[in-house]
Amino acid sequence: MDDDQDIREVVADALAAEGYRVITASDGREAIALLRRVSVAPSLILLDLMMPGMDGAQFREEQRRDPALEGIPVVVVSADMGLGSAAHSLGVAAHLRKPVLLDALLAAVREHCR
């Protein structure tokens, strides 16, 4: 999820071209609502930290409180200057700094997708 529509579309298109099914959300609230409605949970969540409304940290707190969502691995993709420590405190599978190279993003998705 990312609040920038262009980034969401580029990432979704790149992942779809690699054969992944993709659901996008513009913020944490929208993502939580989508995740609670899908019949099959996603294998991985790509998460930006800096978003309006419910930011990435708030999303992760909500995700961890929900037994149906807590086991989904999260890869943080963010320009946040404190990315490393934030990612560590959020207990995510991996983190990538924006701007991220497509090859690095795809490698992280392959590595952490169930």
The string of pLDDT tens digits covering residues 39-68 is 999 999 999 998 888 988 999 999 999 999
Cβ atoms of residues 113 and 99 within 8 Å: no
The string of pLDDT tens digits covering residues 79-109 is 888 888 888 999 999 999 999 999 999 999 9
Largest CA distance in the chain: 36
Neighbours of 34 (CB within 10 A): 14
**Alpha-carbon gap, residue 104 to 107, rounded angstroms:** 5
Domain 5-112 CATH assignment equals 3.40.50.1400: no
Cβ atoms of residues 44 and 72 within 8 Å: yes
- Every domain of the chain and the residues it spans: 5-112
pTM: 0.92
